[in-house]
Amino acid sequence: MTNQNDLVIGCCTPKKNEIEKSSQNNGKARALPVAIIGAGPVGLAAAAHLASRGQSFILLEAGKQAGANIKSWGHIRLFSPWRYNIDKAAASLLSANGWVQPQMEALPTGEELVEHYLKPLSSLPEIKPFIHLNTKVLSVGRKDTDKMKTANGDEIPFVIHAEQNGEYKTFESRAVIDAAGTWGNPNPASSSGIWLADERELKEKIFYGIPDVLGSEQQRYRNKRVAVVGGGHSAINALLDLAALKESCPETEILWIMRRNQVEDAYGGEEKDALEARGRLGSKIHQLVDNGQVEAFTPFRIQLVKESETGIELIGSQNGKQISLDGIDEMIVNTGNRPDFSIISELRTSIDSATESAGSLAPLIDPNIHSCGTVRPHGEKELSQPEKNFYIVGSKSYGRAPTFLMATGYEQVRSVAAYLSGDFAAAEKVELDLPETGVCSVNLKSSIEEPASSCCN
């Protein structure tokens, strides 16, 4: 008579031919390349580190060129200098191919970052043949199985479903590095963080991000009543641009709406700031608020964004009282971004429920506790997921937390690339050279003398 334990063992013990098949699959998986999603700074850095270690890879980019997302904010100047924006492995490959590095203490614009760094990097012979442009990843999973099946799952190749130039295509890989970022997936204006139908319907009058107010978007904001939502450096960047526009278009009205308890909280250290550019930023916006060029509403918690007879109406609470701001022509929303996990829903992942960051990172990057400069270096160990050889890196690994640094992303992929190459000692040794104050990537308009910023971009 067969007992229940015998039945379980018989059901779950692989037969000889299944073991042989698993071994063959394992060998095939090892021969496959590493797939990198996203050809931004961190994705390209991952490619550089893998190339430097002689590892095969493919790089999938939805845009028509490397750094496509950065091109959309090319008019913005960072306040982190070049030396914090260039990955070491990438610099080594570039220099070996005759690249002349920029002045390392200069502050690049987004356009300069692409043209003088990302574009040359993506054109290197070690990288260019393996980039697939115009390739939008639709989903990632294990080949011929789903995440409910765990037997030998770690040895089955990944399969990436994508749309390339309008055609469906699949790619197989032995590992996946998701460096897709969060750009293009903004948070709503509402303080609840929930997208409401009325706000979505007003998308033609709302800009999420940092518009080129003094350039291509000037006509849109000239002599308009504009509300800027957000209490961080990206919002301040937009406010400074609007203030400059107001000098030539005096009927322009500027409203600053944020949840901070008091407007002074947004000014930072000003002249006491260890980073001079960031300090000047706070001083400039302080001056604009004091002289009435910018009207601040804080703490203002937006509950509803709706269309009215006179434009956009914002309904919310301020100091416990229900109030309404009406007659707004345009809104600029800088409330951060959030990751899109839809493409990895068939993978076993650990995502923190609050920050939406990689699970092990959450206590290290929590913006309620940390700023950019106080997040300690981390690598493969903290980024590893329940799905073996799958990693979320870069700004996407931080979820909604605004404390990400480009240099931190470079160290992340250095460690991951070392691990995938079998150099476990190098993967475990995580280091990051930053000044004690930390360096947030701050935006500085090239057309304005004063800096405007987006901390930790």
- Structural domain including 225 reads 197-336
Structural domains of the chain, count: 2
307 and 382 within one domain: no
Least confident of 7-11, 28-32, 225-229: 7-11
- Tracing tokens 């008091």 back to the chain, one arrives at 262
Q: Residue with structure tokens 């904010």? A: 73
pLDDT at 451: 29
CA angle 342, 50, 39 (to 5 degrees): 45
Nearest to 231 by CA among 194, 274, 191, 179: 191
Q: What number is the average pLDDT over the span 17-45?
A: 71
The predicted model scores a pTM of: 0.83
User: For residues 450 and 362, which has the higher predicted lDDT (pLDDT)?
Assistant: 362
For residues 235 and 269, the answer to whether their CB atoms sit within 8 Å is no
- Phi and psi, residue 36, nearest 5°: -115, 130
Mean pLDDT throughout 110-136? 96
Helix axis angle for 88-96 and 41-52, nearest 10°, is 70
Q: What is the CATH number of the domain that holds 282?
A: 3.50.50.60
Q: Residue 140's beta-bridge partner residues?
A: 160
Q: Is the pLDDT of residue 275 over 80?
A: no
Average pLDDT (105-133) is 95
Residue 267, pLDDT above cutoff 50: yes
**What DSSP string describes 175-227?**
EEEE---STT-BPPSSTT-PPPHHHHHTGGGEEES---TTTTTHHHHTT-EEE
Q: Within a domain: residue 381?
A: yes
Residues 50 and 150 in one domain: yes
**229, part of any domain:** yes
Domain membership flag for residue 451: no
Task: Please indicate, yes or no, whether residues 350 and 363 belong to a single structural domain of this protein.
Answer: yes
98/49 same-domain check: yes
Domain match, 240 and 139 both = no
Give burial (CB, 10 Å; 0-12/13-18/19+) of 240: buried
DSSP 144: T
Torsion angle of alpha carbons 373, 375, 376, 381, nearest 10°? -150
The pLDDT of residue 364 is: 85
- The reply to whether 173 and 207 lie within a common domain is no
Whether 26 and 78 map to the same domain: the answer is yes
Q: Mean pLDDT check: name the lowest of 251-265, 293-307, 321-335.
A: 251-265
State whether residue 263 is helix, strand or coil. Answer: helix
Q: What is the average pLDDT value for the chain, to the nearest integer?
A: 83
- Alpha-carbon distance values, 408 to 33, 287, 328, 394, 437 (Å): 24, 33, 39, 8, 14
